[in-house]
Chains A and B, each alone.
Chain A
Amino acid sequence: MSTPTKPVKTTGRPVRALAILAALIVGLLATALIQGATSVRLGLDLRGGTSVTLQPRASNDSNKITSEAIDQAVSIIRQRVNSLGVAESEVTAQGSGTNRQIVISVPGDSGRRVVDLVGQTAELRFRQVLAESSALGGSNASAATPAAGVSPEINAKFAALDCTNPASLQGTGADAPTDVIVACSRTGSSKYILGAAEVLGRQVSKATAGIDQQGASAWYVLLTFNGEGTKAFGNITARVTSLASPQNQVAIVLDGLVVSAPVIREAIPSGNAQITGSFTQVEAQDLANVLKYGALPLAFDRGEVQQVSPTLGADQLHAGLLAGALGLGLVLLFSLLYYRALGLVTVGSLAIAGAILYLLFLVLGKSIGFTLTLAGIAGAIVSIGITADSFIVFFERIRDEAREGRSLRSAVESGWARARHTIIVADMVSILAAVLLYFFAVGGVRGFAFTLGLTTLIDLLVVFIFTKPIVTVIAKMNFFASGHPLSGFSAKSIGKSHPATALEA
């Protein structure tokens, strides 16, 4: 802390710091250009859209909330949301470990359906295949040979089913277990008529993907049923295995879509089955996951649903920007009035901080999907104050040192040595607050914490590699060093008790 008045070193260093700053800004700009990021990604509250926050809840005693289960739920919900075909829909888990919420965001007007779509806990079911067709387009011509036990009504529905239409692949979960249903395969590559459900997802006790080491390294899925399931699965396999294709297949149906429809080679009374096929590793693991978790592995409480119309979004964006401009204007005005020419350094520093922040918004939008929300804008505006605070701490320190009778050049150096400590400690507290807010919060709060933390870091950076070097440079200028009335360092304005003893400028 103690800083004796050693010979003031002013050459070289400020220039180097400013060069680093310039390199940083150019680097960010180049990154943004290369990424093709031209505008800041706006959150739903600024451009309109629907967001749904789901709170996981164990659906029954055996179903604990695990991190794995949440991941699985996210990927199932993502699949459902993506089937809506709305660009830039997002499904993310926020929080940490098992204490996470799932947040679904769908921009624009089409978000309405999302609310109904997600969070349904559809169940995994095993159904006998009654008919299969790879003729995907819907047609009104009835299928040539109605399968046994299929009503003409279902047959007509089957014929009309169009699996090339994304709407058919949405997965409704509206498949009553006792009904005969028509369904598309998940990939949309074939369509089926399926019998009533005979084995349920909760009767599966274990499912794992494995690789056959001896043969052609084929991936397979091993399936184990519980007591109830073993009996039911034994019955269905014994019945269908001797039937003609396609009725010797058992479809695994999730969410009203056929995940897989393996041919049953033999009756399987043991409760242990192996599903083989030309699986890739990913496919085998996906299938095992689906089997293991049934459907959504968790039940969800609908935490919050928020729909913002594009009009309100535009209003909020407008208001946020206006508040920012107003706040910035007032801070600059105050700085100039109080610190005179020195206030220009504040203006410059805030401009640099603003430029870096904007470029980071661009780059982070592309690289980590950062979106700017209203709370984020508020965080940025609030941080104008924090950033300007550091300058004040620094400037007042310089004035203190000057009051002691130091020359401006020496006051800048010794004032900086002391102000630096204060600024670092104070900013660390702010960053601490931002980090904790980020980890303990959901949704809007996180956006606020993120921008607050980011801007505090930028503040530290700017103070070190812009504000300080610039002040060092201007301290050499006669206008400031001689204490010109407009410089912010006049004897009158700082109330120096010893009139300019050390003005060896």
Chain B
Amino acid sequence: MRRRAPAGRDWYRDAVFYEVHVKAFADGNGDGVGDFVGLTQRLDYLKDLGVDCLWILPMYASPLKDDGYDIADFYSIHPAYGTVEDFQTFLDEAHARDLRVIADLVMNHTSDQHPWFQASRSDPAAAYADYYVWSDSDVRYREARIIFVDTEKSNWTFDPARKAYFWHRFFSHQPDLNYDNPAVRAAMLDVMRFWLDRGLDGFRCDAVPYLVEREETSCENLAETHAVLKEFRRVIDQEYGGDRVLLAEANQWPEDVRPYFGEGDECHMAFHFPLMPRLYMAVRLEERLPIVDIFTHTPPIPPGAQWALFLRNHDELTLEMVTNEERAFMYYAYARDPAMKLNLGIRRRLAPLLDNDRRRIELLNSLLLTLPGSPIVYYGDEIGMGDNVYLGDRDGVRTPMQWSRDRNAGFSAADESKLYLPVIADPVYGYQAVNVAAQAGTPSSLLNAMKRLMAARRTSPAFGRGSIEFLRPRNQRILAYLRREQRDTLLVVNNLAGSPQPVELDLRSFAGSTPVEMLGRTRFPTIGEAPYFLSLGPHGFYWFRLERPDGGDEPYGIEESAI
């Protein structure tokens, strides 16, 4: 089967990403933990789903105190997930299917088990002494906030071996690397080269705002940090032909994220964090303002740059990027049980967040796939998997993928007590009810609906590359926007409300064009001078391509006498 994979150096602008945790996807050796052998066996599923690029969560050797974001050796694969050879096979098999792969890379810090840190703490005079940020006191950089407020009291922790404090923006077992040290920058570039040489298509760069520290600043988004990223980009572009991508994780306001694109010479992509909670807010409020508002505050980005959009990911649904008032509303609306809260966020999956309401799940996905940026689907959300809020930290949204109603949801042949986390087994979201095998065979399933949406998205470059222009119909419950790219004009109309809504759209500038619905290919009445009237069912949406009268409807000059 042939399919057009997004080609060219800026492939990521058309791609649909799929975020997957190796340990959670498929267990190839029956030890209860997912691995690269299992993931390789499931590549056809991902291809069939219609994704273009996988984003692999940290796969490196690690004590796993922070689910792999505490890397103990950048050059090896965690033994539970396989070997570098297994990874290579996986990567080659993915490429054979026109699937690309990016991997998480934690740049800001390492595990305290990393040999660099062990050397650094044991011998203040040795080569690795300055690989980390050390201080004799715990009062420097006091302006920097504490991110994991639920577990950490300070950004400094005393190390009895070196008898000094080391700096950590995250957990105290994750010492920050010292990017003022040229040897650290060179060492990280070598790490990247090692994986890029194997064919990896890029990195999701974890926690990039925190690379460099300066006194009397928040120690976030500093110019020195941007300089480091620009250096990495320049070297990678130079050595790898310019089609490897850097995706920045900077949980910041859009105007603060904007510098991570540089002038097209820093990161290729960055997450749009503030949009995500506002999508939920808009659907809960049944009103478009939160979404339109955040885009009004989203600055333009350089040519070739791209936002990464997501509904959910492996972390809590983060509410750092909302106001206190908005946060209170979100807790009220989406996390009535305090167990659902974590740090400044809500640790739930997509389907439970939306009360398993199929209409709202599809609507949110319609927004994800049509707003400007490249969408990222979190594994399991395509079948509406549930979560388990009673598991610790963020584990509740990292449970095994549900493949079938077989033992362990078809995820592993191991004894169930050996699974890294229990499968979801509640009566609503349990694997007996929610699984790939059941949904694959049901044309109306969420899985198949997702496939259709992704296939429709693939038919126009305007979704990934087009400009956005919001329409302002009087009905505030309708979010309607135009996406334009060269001759392709798309009109997306979403009903944020749970009740049927009418809307009149001012489409006079498209008079004569015909909206063609992209999922069913139905031709709607031609646009005239009068307001264009549509009615939408509860949480309904339309994706239209506007066919110009001169774009296919006008005669070719042969049809009058073609026979």
Say whether A associates with B: no
